[in-house]
Amino acid sequence: MNETVWQIIDQLLAFHQRPGRDFTPIDALNRLFARHVRHQRLRGMPRLDRSTCVATLESWTVDDLKRLVRWHGRARPRFESYPIVVVRCGDRFFVLDGNNRTNKWIAEKRNGYCDVIVIRPVVVAAATDPTIAWTKWWRNAWRHAVERALGRAAATLYK
């Protein structure tokens, strides 16, 4: 099921790919997420992909949609039947694809349920236990911490 949901995510986010910048839909996903995380001043989030996250297809009510962090108030979706894509970050949910759909569904007080794809980063214990294989994200976080503490030259040892 998880792989099927990731295929849907790939299809939805292909629309957001920028030529020469996003080589895959996952690149577009991470670019959008980085922009929203930077806006919220959240730090230390992993790269979102199949190996670091779990994606599920859920059914939410309009009341559930109201708690989403949305980026604009426009309600002119190109496609209304597609699910929206959100990323859970702590206790908040950020809309990455489907902001117009979400706004329209809320404004119409849509009855029933809306399809929502929720991407949840998986927290790994590898950050503190060197015997567990480290993911790229933890390795980069460690390298950045060393870079801040010792300078850029010393951080190259931890690539």
Say whether both 119 and 132 belong to one domain: no
Q: List, for residues 39-75, the tens digit of each pLDDT value.
A: 555 556 667 888 888 999 999 999 999 999 888 888 8
pLDDT of residue 103: 92
For residues 135-157, give the mean pLDDT.
55
Say whether both 116 and 133 belong to one domain: no
Based on its alpha-carbon atoms, the radius of gyration of the chain, rounded to whole angstroms, reads: 18
Angle at 45 between CA 41 and CA 88, to 5 degrees: 85
For residues 153-157, give the mean pLDDT.
49
Say whether both 7 and 43 belong to one domain: yes
What element of type H or E holds 117? strand 114-121
Say whether both 131 and 115 belong to one domain: no
Say whether both 140 and 90 belong to one domain: no
Q: List, for residues 67-90, the tens digit of each pLDDT value.
A: 998 888 888 778 778 899 999 887
Say whether both 89 and 151 belong to one domain: no
Q: Supply the pTM of this predicted model.
A: 0.70
* Domain carrying residue 59: 2-123
pLDDT of residue 152: 53
If DSSP codes are grouped into helix, strand and coil, which group holds residue 96? strand
Say whether both 102 and 145 belong to one domain: no
Q: List, for residues 4-36, the tens digit of each pLDDT value.
A: 898 988 888 888 877 777 788 888 888 888 877
In the chain, the number of structural domains is 2
Say whether both 82 and 108 belong to one domain: yes
Cβ neighbours, 10 Å, residue 109: 8
Say whether both 143 and 84 belong to one domain: no
Q: Angle of helix 25-40 relative to helix 2-13, nearest 10 degrees? A: 80
Burial of 149 (0-12, 13-18, 19+ CB in 10 A): exposed
Give the position of tokens 């790939």.
10
Burial of 33 (0-12, 13-18, 19+ CB in 10 A): buried
Say whether both 89 and 20 belong to one domain: yes
Say whether both 61 and 128 belong to one domain: no
> With 90 as the cut, is the pLDDT of residue 133 above it?
no
For residues 80-106, give the mean pLDDT.
88
Amino acid at residue number 64: D
> With 90 as the cut, is the pLDDT of residue 38 above it?
no
pLDDT of residue 150: 60
Say whether both 6 and 72 belong to one domain: yes
